Amino acid sequence: MCGIVGYIGGQQAYPILIDGLKKLEYRGYDSAGVALLDNGELHMVKSVGRLCELEDKIGIGCPYGMVGIGHTRWATHGRPSDTNAHPHSDCTNHFVVIHNGIIENYQALREWLTSLGHSFRSETDTEVLAHLVEHYYRGDLKSAIRQVMEQVHGSYALVVMSRHEADRLVCARKDSPLVIGLGEGENFIASDIPALLKYTRQTYILDDGELAEVTKNDVKIENGNGASVEKPIFNVEWDAVSAEKDGFDHFMLKEIHEQPKAIRDTLRSRLNDTGVVLDEIKLTHDQVKSLRKVVMVACGTAYHAGLVGKYVFEKMLRLPVEVDVASEFRYRDPLLGEDTLVVVISQSGETADTLAALRLAKEKGSPVVAVTNVVGSSVSREADQIIYTWAGPEIAVASTKAYTTQLVVLYLLALHLGNLTGVVSLSEAASLVEELKLLPSHVESILKKEHELLEFARFISRWEDTFFIGRGLDYAVALEGSLKLKEISYIHAEAYAAGELKHGTLALITDNIPVLALATQPALHEKMWSNIKEVKARDAYVMGIAMAGDKGTHKEVDAIFEIPATIPLLAPILTVIPLQLIAYHASVLRGCDVDKPRNLAKSVTVE
């Protein structure tokens, strides 16, 4: 996610751009830049770091101009740097672009444009857009951009400004949000409403494929076929704070609901008809063949993702997998070496123990793959190879979209390694890929049933203790569900391997105590149902999570929530969604600070 702003009107643009970018910093904050046109002259300033560093760089002599664009970045392609910051311009500096999204075919476009003589300055996917506009421009900016839209694959919300046509901005969107704010003798463009509220509440919300030509007195919108569109004005009722959360009450709920897009973005350009495309992984066939073990190291939710990864890797690659919390791994003198692949997982890429584990693994000669959500983070800079989750900034302390996209990356990595060594057949890979592609819509259908979980949350919120039980992959997800509940509702939640209950914990099962039973694994259903009977016999109140079509679980539990049917191996990505929602609503019901729970920080950068 990135923050985009544009202005055209009778005021100096710079203060409006900076103010808008400040309202959008939650969408990305690793670098920023502005570009303005003043009497045909282009003024562009970009800086790595937070917006304040851009302001410091600009100093008191702010650039003049009554038309301008600005961008605050969340890097996906190209580490955070002055050069990679947006805006990006073409060879002639006549076209300037800002962009939010992922241009999937940017490499091919970059090669083609280079062969035509274009010279690139940055490592970003976005810069190809500026050179494409230059290539297609024949005196009409809008039609040049229309041709660009036909060439690029992927997602974009883009704004283009040109010295040739300084009286307009042209913007377009596909799969990334873009809104136009309507003023008197001035108009605004932004990726999100918060950037506009200080100036206007009258907006056009662009739809996919639409392109808009914005002057200070007019907004012309066209659809994907070039036909003009009369859009209704959307009057924004939200206040500034709720607008940052897209109308959701908390960032956590917003981020739970962003998971379909986060999963789609993380899968984007990494799947083709035959399997997985993971160019980030440089491990050779022989290196993978020589592996004797995989170790996954992380903390908290990322550790729970590693537990799912263990099942997936061992099932698909038939390789032993150890999973360690980083704070233990780094002090147990682990057996490592070039035959042990170490997979380090960290949303922030700054967790001290996880970073230390990465360094230890490298010191001991193990190949290291990092899975992280932050481009340019310490983990991403020190790992041999990196696979990014493209979840966008995760603001809430409780990790949600990072977890599900970490799982997606682990499935992709297992498939990639399996394809490399042949242990995963093309037909197995193809069927798994087909199911992976369905995950975003499966998550969407779960989110549409959020109301069914309110009763679960209400029941649980009245207790100080709750148990999560499951077997196999469901046990790994039960651990994540219990962490979600305890860290934001302060209920003592404990996850247990269902088969282990009778070895002690059953003593804690008393009258009506809430038990969440995860039963998504058909091969373990009989065993799981008998474990549910065990706790029912002690008068627990059991809420079940099962797959649609499951004919048995609903008979064993007091209440049930069904997730869409999928390959059992992929179930964790779906099973966790109701658990996230239950934790969220229980926390709200208990009046807790959902986004900033007591005693916790978003990134634990100390031991």
Of all residues in this chain, which one has the CB nearest to ligand AGP in the complex?
300
Tokens 């197995």 locate to: 428
How many Cα neighbours within 13 Å face the side chain of 393?
21
Contact residues for ligand AGP, defined by CB under 6 A? 299-302, 346-348, 351, 354, 397-399, 487, 603-604
What's the farthest any 2 CA atoms get from each other in the chain?
A: 81
Is 602 among the residues known to form the active site? yes
Cα end-to-end span (Å), the chain: 30
Whose Cβ is closer to ligand AGP: residue 354's or residue 419's? Answer: 354
Is 596 among the residues known to form the active site? no
Rounded distance between C-alpha atoms, residue 390 and residue 401, angstroms: 9
**Of 2, 62, 299, 592, which is the active-site residue?**
2
Whose Cβ is closer to ligand AGP: residue 189's or residue 583's? Answer: 583
- Do β-strands 340-346 and 293-298 pair in parallel, antiparallel, or remain unpaired? parallel
CB 367 within 8 A of CB 413: no
Per DSSP, 532 falls in state H
Whose Cβ is closer to ligand AGP: residue 223's or residue 603's? Answer: 603
Cα-based distances in Å from 597 to 155, 485, 488, 576, 584: 34, 11, 5, 20, 11
Whose Cβ is closer to ligand AGP: residue 454's or residue 604's? Answer: 604
Rounded distance between C-alpha atoms, residue 463 and residue 589, angstroms: 12
Rounded distance between C-alpha atoms, residue 482 and residue 389, angstroms: 23
Whose Cβ is closer to ligand AGP: residue 155's or residue 354's? Answer: 354
* 161 phi and psi angles, rounded to 5 deg: -125, 145
Cα-based distances in Å from 268 to 4, 31, 52, 184: 22, 24, 32, 40
Per DSSP, 282 falls in state -
DSSP-assigned beta bridge partners for residue 371: 345, 387
CB 159 within 8 A of CB 6: yes
Sign of the alpha-carbon dihedral angle for 140, 141, 144, 150: negative
* Geometric angle at alpha carbon 272, from 267 and 278, rounded to 5°: 60
Whose Cβ is closer to ligand AGP: residue 474's or residue 595's? Answer: 595
CB 180 within 8 A of CB 203: yes
Please choose, from the candidates 577, 571, 465, 572, the residue with its C-alpha nearest in 3D space to the C-alpha of residue 515: 465
Whose Cβ is closer to ligand AGP: residue 101's or residue 572's? Answer: 572
Rounded distance between C-alpha atoms, residue 573 and residue 129, angstroms: 34
Active site residue ranges: 2, 602
